Structure 1
């Protein structure tokens, strides 16, 4: 089957539907290809709890202040042009989504919850997305696209980019029926999410044992768009990092224990050890950092958080759906003992090494003495000593929500090659792209919804300007 449109978008999540709606507003013929065949096709945008933020704070704040937050969480490693574009257009993106019918409410007093989707996500453990937050948002954007003459074609997977004389001129796709489609277009937008659901790509870029990492996501992000772009010379950046949270280890088999509650607040207050009973990372750098560090262990399912009852009654009750009490009510468990020696035994760890690790950690907290162990930052998260029983531990796993790296683009969504030159006709937006969250161990979470909405909108505007010029 042959089709010809002005713009073809690969992926029907927030980034893809934002780009499609924006070009449709300019009267361009746009077709969105979505691999999922169901009306409520699954993707991370549909699962979202709906908090639009940048760096866990108000994305509608004064742009320089928002930019400073982003620079702080990424330790200054985010691509400057992308950071500037995100923060300069964040307020406008929220207003634009509202103009399409997406509804926002203030779900809490802090910046994290100041711009939340309505109806809000349910504050319960496990998955609760139907008729809430992201589900309603995607339905709203799909209806908006249809009103403007755009089309969303479900059950169709893009497989290869069509290149003519160095320019991307369309995609080759396959329908669920097995029929092949060749779609010619003036511009192609890749917006099919991250590659977290592709074990081969996770092994290639992130960790040796993807099967021992929890898929804390819709499992639809397979990285096909990244592979298609790489095949035509696109540059990839920041692919070693992902956004995710620490979960109880039983979440690997028990759906009631993910995506919430997470146990990050206990990890950033106490200490995290591996199967040898030793610390291996700086817990004070935050839950996303620690989650990445756990995933990169020789055995990602060997990690344990250790803390005492003061921490359980303090930071354990912090954050949304805190571990205390939601972990226990969801069916998770603490490993508890009156002494550290007994706790080591219940964890199957060498008691001598375990005792040395706790003693060294307590000295680090009290005096800053490193004693050959990793540092412990305290700029954001206070380090709590492990002093008085009962003592607790949580056996954990690393939950990957989406990959933060991917296709390199400029601020207008144009895909860049190895020499940072735009590949004509090819664009990308959302979780399939990289650079915004930085690179290396310093990478930090910017916010998946803000990234997808802002750059989906900007990519649409960039395409509309380019096609009008030609």
Structure 2
């Protein structure tokens, strides 16, 4: 078996792995990135590129109180400096966008340009750093094999090329970074952590995120974070199967928060089961616990025109979401009256009588404007349709939706330096974790995606530089745009 010596082995070439490798190579570490897919980028390649984070620590704590406060605070401290770094490095970034995920601000970025930047910094570094695609990690090598928490000294990797036998190599590394993208694609792991039926939830991510990092860390004594049964995803038009959808259609088939919070959402029994105003990344998880995991959005033509046919933010693209769902054979119905719409819901297997009662009661509560009444158990939780449905002019629309999972919130337990921790919170020497492989930030509520992945990759690179005695990665102190230096406050 060929033996390759490097300073750092980064397992995963997605948002977090590429960020880590980019800063580590620039600092002077000989870095090897291995990516099991045929291209770098991971699930970020299917993203609309909203680089977002909660606006303040207080808002984040209120939204995700079960997340780790130390990790959350450290993430927010680095968020805006990272935005500055991308601007100063020439990555195209749109102006600040408010109201992301209810509590956040965001800067739409050009994902492909960011990955090109990282690749250039890695491959042009003076350390002979490189990226291998179609290559996966098989096992971690410990100083004392089989001893939980023993230092990591490298890994066995497997390189695959079409038409050729697989080639195994031993990588001797001073530090290994796990950044493989979560376990949402593994039926076994999602069944174990999400519960019965978890393996039937639509997987809305790259096909390679099957828990490689989690399994490798557990084998060497790694502990898990809180929130192992929670995840990020969107309500998706239904019925659809993961294998039947091109990943490029994930965005137009998703029913984003701005839409769903203006709709009435009922289950097969015709009842509401969640507060639509929470945003679909949360009610998406509520729907997964309903009978048969089927939901039905009910909305007016006014809502369709305002929220279903235009881009919700830069990079998302203008698309008629109802038409896109129809093209994929999903259940989408339109009627001139609510009575006609109830007939359509009945054909789909919804309790027609109860659905009619739910609409009537909901309209009555919205007219009264009484939030307490809106929380009455008979209709579920509070809602946010801008006007009673019966006062809106037809036609009226209904769409069947299902839950989906983009990435898991739970993962390997880490500290704010990126060290992998055992169940009793001891560091595992030589092992760092970044991106979705790391848990603790989110728990039911969503703390961040692209930005969180980038920042945790930066944390790993900082620790690499510290342990190897190399210069620390430095982020620019000011935002440079159009030849003018702007302080960080200008981004706010």
TM-score norm. by structure 2 comes to 0.80
> Is this contact kept in 2: 1:272–1:304, CA < 8 A?
yes
Question: 1:295 aligned to 2:288?
Answer: yes
Q: Tell me: CA distance 1:319–1:135, structure 2 relative to 1, closer, same or farther (3 Å).
A: closer
Q: Match for residue 240 of structure 1?
A: 229
Q: Match for residue 59 of structure 1?
A: none
Deviation, structure 1 residue 267: 2.4
Deviation, structure 1 residue 30: 1.4
Q: Tell me: CA distance 1:219–1:254, structure 2 relative to 1, closer, same or farther (3 Å).
A: closer
Q: Match for residue 50 of structure 2?
A: 51
Q: Distance in 2 between matches of 1:195 and 1:384?
A: 41
Q: Tell me: CA distance 1:433–1:384, structure 2 relative to 1, closer, same or farther (3 Å).
A: farther
Q: Tell me: CA distance 1:19–1:466, structure 2 relative to 1, closer, same or farther (3 Å).
A: same
Q: Match for residue 199 of structure 1?
A: 187
Q: How does 1:220-231 map to 2 (within 5 A)?
A: 220-231=208-219
Q: How does 1:93-242 map to 2 (within 5 A)?
A: 93-98=82-87, 101=89, 103-107=91-95, 110=98, 115-117=107-109, 133-148=110-125, 149=127, 150-165=129-144, 166-176=150-160, 177-210=165-198, 212-237=200-225, 238-242=227-231
Return 5+ residue gaps in structure 2 as ranges.
Answer: 145-149, 471-492
Q: Match for residue 344 of structure 1?
A: 342
Return 5+ residue gaps in structure 1 as ranges.
Answer: 56-64, 118-132
SS of equivalent residue, structure 1 residue 434:
coil
SS of equivalent residue, structure 2 residue 273:
coil
Q: How does 1:360-379 map to 2 (within 5 A)?
A: 360-365=361-366, 366=368, 367=370, 368-369=372-373, 370-373=375-378, 375-377=380-382
Q: Distance in 1 between matches of 2:223 and 2:387?
A: 42
Q: Tell me: CA distance 1:138–1:444, structure 2 relative to 1, closer, same or farther (3 Å).
A: same
1:145-193 per-residue CA deviation (whole Å, 9 max, x = no partner) reads 0111311122211121111141111112222142222212111110011
Q: Tell me: CA distance 1:267–1:456, structure 2 relative to 1, closer, same or farther (3 Å).
A: same
Tell me how many residue pairs correspond in the alignment.
Answer: 434
1:376-406 per-residue CA deviation (whole Å, 9 max, x = no partner) reads 346xx55643324443211112232222221
C-alpha RMSD of matched pairs (Å): 2.8
Q: Distance in 1 between matches of 2:97 and 2:27?
A: 37
Q: Distance in 1 between matches of 2:112 and 2:426?
A: 37
Q: Match for residue 390 of structure 2?
A: 387
Q: Distance in 1 between matches of 2:325 and 2:448?
A: 29
Q: Distance in 1 between matches of 2:239 and 2:96?
A: 30
SS of equivalent residue, structure 1 residue 411:
coil
> Is this contact kept in 1: 2:15–2:41, CA < 8 A?
no
> Is this contact kept in 2: 1:244–1:291, CA < 8 A?
yes
Q: Match for residue 83 of structure 1?
A: 72
Q: Distance in 1 between matches of 2:85 and 2:95?
A: 20
> Is this contact kept in 2: 1:284–1:376, CA < 8 A?
no
> Is this contact kept in 1: 2:273–2:380, CA < 8 A?
no
Q: Distance in 2 between matches of 1:41 and 1:191?
A: 12
